[in-house]
Amino acid sequence: MKRREFLSTAAATLAASPALTAAPPASRIIDTHTHFYDPTRPQGVPWPAKNTPLYRTVLPEHWLALAEPHGCRETVIVEASAWLEDNQWLLDLAAKQTSIVGICGHIEPDDAQFEAHTRRFAANSLFRGVRWRADAYRDAAGRDQVKKNAQLLAELGLQLDLNGSAAALPVAAELAAAVPDLRIVIDHLGAPSDPRAIRPEWLPGITALARHPNVFMKVSALVEQVRDANGKAPADTAFYLPILDPLWQHFGPERLIYGSNWPVSDRGAPYATVFQIVKNYFESKGADACERYFWKNSLTAYRWVERKS
């Protein structure tokens, strides 16, 4: 869909049903990419760095204050800390916060104790998988170990988030082919860069990934792709069509997933802007696409835990 066509369709939708657009776009909304941490802990935090805007206490109640007005009351946390015991810290947090329906933890693929650590945390049903670098399968010396650990995730019914550069997408596709039973979620759009200057390797990379039915794409970190946004990335959905349209074309309604990347998303734009951009886009695709994008696809990918009373 071209920019002019998108704007025309959006305007027609608004004119036809203004009350509908004010409502949540789906019957349920799961934000599959949030980060929670507390620098005031005695041990501190390894990330984010001190003296940065992100270095502050960030907990579910802070996220809910921003997300709940849009109908989003549940989240899957993605662990950014490399400290092993921070996986347990999130599980302890989730025990008290029913808004957390799943945790994608952090255990390095080359950890000699990967299996023991994974089985330990997976004993808690809220632990849904782990995140690795997108190029974790690149090095020939460690490929067998990475594949073995990826197979363990599949055997345990867990999933794998992959995060990295667009140049690493072909390596992620190789891993998807090597372990076809593993549900893989690509974080942050596969790192396309600014919509006005898409990396040339991005489109071939997502095309290769989309051939594997076990791969999902998370539409997160969209506003952070804008260079020098400083919290003021464009709010116009049409601005992001060079990214959104290829993802829709290749992954379709069944394998795109909502994630905000909050609070990191604040670098690009406020939560309300982040949400409205994708709300506009997926509403233009119809009610079924909204249901799939905002929650049904994430249930398939993460198998998160039902905690609603």
pLDDT, tens digit (0-9, with 9 covering 90-100), for 94-119: 999 999 999 999 999 999 999 999 99
Give a yes or no: residue 87 inside a domain. Answer: yes
Name the percent of the chain in helix, strand, coil, to the closest 5. 45, 15, 40
Mean pLDDT of 77-87: 97
CA atoms within 13 A on the CB side of 254: 6
d(CA 168, CA 139): 12
Query: Is the predicted pLDDT of residue 233 greater than 60, yes or no?
Result: yes
Query: What pLDDT does 204 receive?
Result: 98
Residue 86 is predicted with a pLDDT of 98
Residue 234 identity (one-letter amino acid): P
Domain-embedded: residue 216: yes
Determine the pLDDT at residue 162.
Answer: 98
Mean pLDDT of 169-196: 98
Has residue 39 got a pLDDT over 50?
yes
Listed as own residue / partner, the contacts of 287-290 with beta carbons closer than 8 Å and 24 or more positions apart are 288/253, 289/253, 290/25, 290/26
User: pLDDT per residue over 201-231, tens digit each?
Assistant: 999 999 999 999 999 999 999 999 999 889 9
Q: What is the dihedral of CA 240, 203, 282, 11, to 10 degrees?
A: 40
What's the number of domains the chain is made of? 1
Assign residue 259 the CATH number of its domain. Answer: 3.20.20.140
Mean pLDDT across the chain: 93
Weakest mean pLDDT among 8-17, 78-87, 272-281: 8-17
Residue 16's pLDDT band (cuts 50, 70, 90): very low
Quote the percentage of the chain above a pLDDT of 90. 90
Q: For residue 49, what is the DSSP state?
A: P
Assigned domain for 168 exists: yes
Flag whether pLDDT at 11 surpasses 70: no
Inside any domain, residue 16? no
Q: Write out the residue range of the structural domain in which residue 97 sits.
A: 28-302
d(CA 145, CA 113): 11
- What is the reported pTM? 0.92
Q: What is the pLDDT of residue 2?
A: 56
